[in-house]
Structure 1
Amino acid sequence: MSITPILQFGTSRFLQAHVDLFISEAMQQDQAIGPITVVQSSGDVERARRLAALAHPDGYGVRIEGLVDGKPVRQETTVTSVIRTMSTTTDWDEIGRIFVEEVEIVLSNTGDQGYFAKPADEKRTYDQAMSFPAKLALLLEKRLLAGGKPLQIMPTELIAGNGRVLRQHVLTNARRHSDALADWIASDVLFVNSLVDRIVSEPLEPAGAVAEPYALWAIERSDGLKAPCTHPSVQIVDDLGPIERRKLYILNLGHTYLVGRWLQSDRQAQYVRDLMADPVARADLEQLYREEVLPVFRAVGDMEAEAYVATTLDRFANPYLAHKLADIAQNHSQKLERRILAFMDWAKANGTAVDQPCLEQVLKSFA
């Protein structure tokens, strides 16, 4: 079996059309550190066929569909970076061996619930019911006992400061085992903050996915950082803050604003693309960005925000993307608070005197 320097926890279609695709394309140019072993950590036996298909010798397909500069793009590619798949339910011992002997970088995307502590975390030996950080602490203990080679861990969960957050959870679990383990993790294991951005709309069978053309993996620079690959969609940046704000206060804010207007309407539209095909709805969103959002970004010196708005409008108008408004409307009140109210508070904190009547109206409608 070929050595895999990258161990990935998570089998989502997002990872298939994002990180795994980037590494596959970089491997073709000898610009990646090597192939991937994918680990399913949920224990979902019904996904076994899909898990096996990820490592098929012929690879799996990813279909890219959308708009770039207003023009349609449709292309297909094959991902061959995944050469081995396992499950924490059935392959824990072998995962431990790989973790100790082969791995240089650990990737993860374990979903919204992945970091939550579980009662099983208190146990001293492995239990499938453990949280991801608890499982990771046990694997790190194996590595320490085998000599303790340094390691880099790169979560991609949509959590601000995801590397820092995961590190704290892992250290909490490590201290249950020994101070020596916690001390080694603190000194020799690098947890990296990153931000991922791509809309992946639907799965392909038996593996693969449909995704938009836009893709970004922004990785925060830190001492000792090793990039898993060199790729046009991978950026090493000094500060993730500006990128996080653009995504939250332009892309996510725009989605929530559209849904706010939609909830006040007859709701005949089903997808984001339907609203973008309506001249009135699109003009309303463009005016919002032009008059209530971009002036704030300009005031703080973000000169990339305008280009990001143009790209966002293309992404929303993607004629191939089945992005349901009803899905975006879930937890709408919380999204209003995190995306719109927080943006308005940020604008005030920066002394940006901009009238924001449209944003205020959407907030008042759901007060």
Structure 2
Amino acid sequence: MTARLDLRTLDTVPRELRPPVDPRGLGVGIVHLGLGAFHRAHQAAYTEDAIASAGGRWGICGVTMRSAAVVGQLAPQDGLYTVLCDGGTRTTARVSAAVREVLFAAERTAEVLARIADPAVRVVTLTVTEKGYSHDPATGRLLCRDARVLADVADDGTGPRTALGLLVRGLQRRMRADAGPVTVLSCDNLPHNGATLRGLVAEFTDLLPAAEATALRAWTDAQVRFPGSMVDRIVPATTDADRERAAAALGVTDAGVVVTEPFRQWVIEDDFAASRPAWERAGAVLAPDVAPYERVKLRMLNGSHSTLAYLGALAGCRSIADAVADDGFRGLVERMLADEVIPTLDAPDGMDLRDYAGQLLGRFANPALRHRTAQVAMDGSQKLPQRLLATVRACREAGIEPRGSAFAVAAWMRWVWTDRTDDGAPRDLDDPLAPVLRTAVADCTSAEQVVGRLLALPEIFGKDLIDDPVVPGLLADALARLTADGARTAAGRG
């Protein structure tokens, strides 16, 4: 049996594939909530490069929120894992050593809270996905009546289970320990993610007993910063073939391999409460305002990504690369970007949005990544407001007919309504609002009914679109065509 990657076997790995920093003795300075593949291929990679360039004890304590699977992958490997970077024609590999501790929140809650309260920790980062914020994506407000939120507020002794509860209780412990200022940095695809998280922390805090709430609010206002950020890198699910490629390159087995593309981008609002890694030395952009970058990424990359995911999944395309290879799907996305998204965006300084659109489609077409349409299609109720509905609303305000954006939203509606793809395969609706969505469309017999029922869900669509004089009709027409003709034919006809 091939030996497994860890600190003992690291010296047997080819020198050019070893980490640029020595993991031995690298102290923890960052706590990260949501230790998935994206973080390991993105922020952890930037952090390691920043340490290599400028030094600092910025090792990461990675906290997995959903299951212990990542602990099983990384803990026996001393936090080491391989990043495979696939450029389509060339693949590179490098072992990463930035993650120095791995904890499963549900089993080691006390240790996670202690880490957040550790004076050596100056930054807490998050990639818990949109649904991990216990909020209403249409309003950005806390789901105050959510059972898990209320349980975390009550603090029954079992420890918090939501990311927000874990964060607030950790900050509360930090306050009591007088451990100093800390920066909380959201790296998820939320509009105004820093301000949104700051507001959610405040709302959660206000649910605590009055004396606790008053003290924690005052301390948070004085000691904690919540800068915004924008992250961009495609990180598909790892396959057995990827693990085999890594083993062949390293000469040892690696259960924690992540796969990504050469492109990466990180824009961070320059508003920190204390010290931080020199991320700018690794290529990150420190900016006074992240919002223009954020809107571009959410509406252009994420909006077109979701469009290709729903259309492709309906048509039986397994990957985004397969979907963008379809002339009809690609053409629809190109028109949507050119005619609706770009005209309603303000480009950040020095950024050519039409050039960026072309880059996006080239990245999506990378055959080496095989980003699954079903993976991108997950949690649509949480993603739609910022990825597609923001463009629909911007178009209406600008007097532009949002035909392409409405078609994309209708593709999601079709995904919700049907139980089969166009080729007869079963459809799996993976969404935190799945029961609500199924109930809403259960007895619908027409596209108009589906549109009416779904637009009536304010937690997704707000309260304005159902009464819009144009949008419901565009949605009903597109959904009717998708239902009658299938995704490929409907998209091909525009």
Deviations 1:76-101 (A, max 9, x none): 12111112223334444444444333
After TM superposition, list the pairs within 5 Å mapping 1:263-302 onto structure 2: 267-279=315-327, 281-297=329-345
Query: Would you say 1:218 and 2:267 are equivalent positions?
Result: yes
Q: Is the 8 A contact 1:63 1:209 kept in 2?
A: yes
Query: Would you say 1:15 and 2:44 are equivalent positions?
Result: no
Query: Would you say 1:5 and 2:26 are equivalent positions?
Result: no
Instruction: Give the Å deviation of 1:19.
Output: 0.7
Give, in whole Å, the separation in 2 of the partners of 1:225 and 1:88.
25
Q: Is the 8 A contact 2:182 2:274 kept in 1?
A: no
- Equivalent residue number for residue 166 of structure 1: 197
Deviations 1:30-51 (A, max 9, x none): 2555211222344x34443124
Deviations 1:3-47 (A, max 9, x none): 3111222211111111111111222222555211222344x3444
| Pairing partner for 1:347 from 365, 372, 395 | 395
Q: Is the 8 A contact 1:220 1:237 kept in 2?
A: yes
Give the SS at the match of 1:78: strand
Q: In the superposition, relative to structure 1, how do residues 74 and 226 fare at CA in structure 2: closer, same or farther (>3 Å)?
A: same
Give, in whole Å, the separation in 1 of the partners of 2:405 and 2:377.
16
- Equivalent residue number for residue 222 of structure 2: 187
Q: Is the 8 A contact 1:8 1:39 kept in 2?
A: yes
Q: Is the 8 A contact 1:53 1:60 kept in 2?
A: no
Q: Is the 8 A contact 2:312 2:318 kept in 1?
A: no
| Pairing partner for 2:81 from 39, 57, 60 | 60
Query: Would you say 1:37 and 2:61 are equivalent positions?
Result: yes
Q: In the superposition, relative to structure 1, how do residues 220 and 92 fare at CA in structure 2: closer, same or farther (>3 Å)?
A: same
Give the SS at the match of 2:237: strand
- Equivalent residue number for residue 74 of structure 1: 91
Q: In the superposition, relative to structure 1, how do residues 258 and 299 fare at CA in structure 2: closer, same or farther (>3 Å)?
A: same
Give the count of matched residue pairs: 356
Q: Which has the higher helix share?
A: 2
Give the SS at the match of 1:29: helix
- Equivalent residue number for residue 85 of structure 1: 102
Q: In the superposition, relative to structure 1, how do residues 161 and 112 fare at CA in structure 2: closer, same or farther (>3 Å)?
A: same
| Pairing partner for 2:302 from 241, 252, 257 | 252
Amino acid across the alignment from 1:3: G
283-292 or 157-166: bigger deviation? 283-292
Q: Is the 8 A contact 1:295 1:354 kept in 2?
A: no
- Equivalent residue number for residue 145 of structure 1: 176
- Equivalent residue number for residue 121 of structure 2: 103
Query: Would you say 1:198 and 2:233 are equivalent positions?
Result: yes
Instruction: Give the Å deviation of 1:180.
Output: 1.6
Give the SS at the match of 1:62: strand
Larger Rg: 2
Q: Is the 8 A contact 1:100 1:142 kept in 2?
A: no
Query: Would you say 1:317 and 2:365 are equivalent positions?
Result: yes
Give, in whole Å, the separation in 2 of the partners of 1:301 and 1:23.
26
Amino acid across the alignment from 1:197: D
- Equivalent residue number for residue 18 of structure 2: none
Give, in whole Å, the separation in 2 of the partners of 1:309 and 1:134.
38
Instruction: Give the Å deviation of 1:361.
Output: 5.6
Q: In the superposition, relative to structure 1, how do residues 249 and 97 fare at CA in structure 2: closer, same or farther (>3 Å)?
A: closer
Query: Would you say 1:365 and 2:478 are equivalent positions?
Result: yes
- So what's the TM-score if we normalise by structure 2? 0.63
Instruction: Give the Å deviation of 1:261.
Output: 5.3
Q: Is the 8 A contact 1:17 1:208 kept in 2?
A: no
Amino acid across the alignment from 1:366: L
Q: Is the 8 A contact 1:33 1:229 kept in 2?
A: no
Give, in whole Å, the separation in 2 of the partners of 1:86 and 1:263.
34
Q: Is the 8 A contact 1:61 1:207 kept in 2?
A: yes
294-303 or 1-10: bigger deviation? 294-303
The root-mean-square deviation of aligned C-alpha atoms, in Å, is 3.3
Q: In the superposition, relative to structure 1, how do residues 262 and 24 fare at CA in structure 2: closer, same or farther (>3 Å)?
A: closer
Give the SS at the match of 1:320: coil
- Equivalent residue number for residue 304 of structure 1: 352
Bigger RCO of structures 1 and 2 (CA < 8 A, at least 6 apart) = 1
Give, in whole Å, the separation in 2 of the partners of 1:25 and 1:321.
23
Amino acid across the alignment from 1:245: R
Instruction: Give the Å deviation of 1:63.
Output: 0.6
